[in-house]
Amino acid sequence: MKRELEDRSTGMASEQSKVARMTRPERERKLAEIARQPNGEPLTDPMAEPAELELALADLISDGNGEIVFFNDSGFHSLAIRTDAAVVANGRTQAHVTAGGDDVSGFKFVRFDNGLTLYFEEGLHLVLASGPAAAPG
């Protein structure tokens, strides 16, 4: 009888852990997915949780070399960029100073087929979405 109760409790614990894994909050799941993104690779999941800030790539002003730098002085965790331009390269920069004089050495970057390159600091997750930016709410 005792062995049967132990088997049942072990089985129940196993079932409870399965249920706990299946009912994890959606936000936790999305954060885990973001954490698994390779360095420099932007998140392109259309079902991803909305970013704290959303901008349209077309509204951003680049320097003479088509470079845009995001300094994360506000401490945002995520930034959404809406664009129909395709990503042609991404990664981490080596030693580089932009035409505007910003040292972006070690920053992550995303280069688009329209010639623009976005540089952003470690700790900021870039979320790419297609289409125009959502209207302010």
Chunked into runs of 10 residues, the chain (137 residues) has average pLDDT values of: 49 44 48 48 53 87 94 85 93 94 95 95 88 57
Range of the domain at 21: 1-36
Number of domains observed in the structure of the chain: 2
Q: Are residues 70 and 128 in the same domain?
A: yes
Q: Are residues 50 and 24 in the same domain?
A: no
Q: Are residues 65 and 22 in the same domain?
A: no
Q: Are residues 54 and 87 in the same domain?
A: yes
Residue 17 has a pLDDT of 40
Q: Are residues 31 and 48 in the same domain?
A: no
Q: Are residues 78 and 126 in the same domain?
A: yes
Residue 79 has a pLDDT of 87
Residue 105 DSSP label: T
Residue 77 has a pLDDT of 86
Q: Are residues 44 and 31 in the same domain?
A: no
Q: Are residues 13 and 65 in the same domain?
A: no
* CA–CA separation, 107 and 61 (whole Å): 19
Taken in order 51, 46, 31, 12, the sign of the CA dihedral is: positive
Q: Are residues 132 and 89 in the same domain?
A: yes
Q: Annotate 68-110 with DSSP letters as a single string.
A: EEE--TT--SEEEEE-SSPEEEEEE--S-B-TTS-B-TT-EEE
Q: Are residues 18 and 5 in the same domain?
A: yes
Q: Are residues 58 and 99 in the same domain?
A: yes
Residue 112 has a pLDDT of 95
Q: What is the pTM of this model?
A: 0.61
Q: Are residues 76 and 14 in the same domain?
A: no
Q: Where are the alpha helices (DSSP H) in the chain?
A: 2-22, 26-35
Residues 6+ apart with CB under 8 A from 10: none
* CA–CA separation, 137 and 135 (whole Å): 6
Residue 100 DSSP label: T
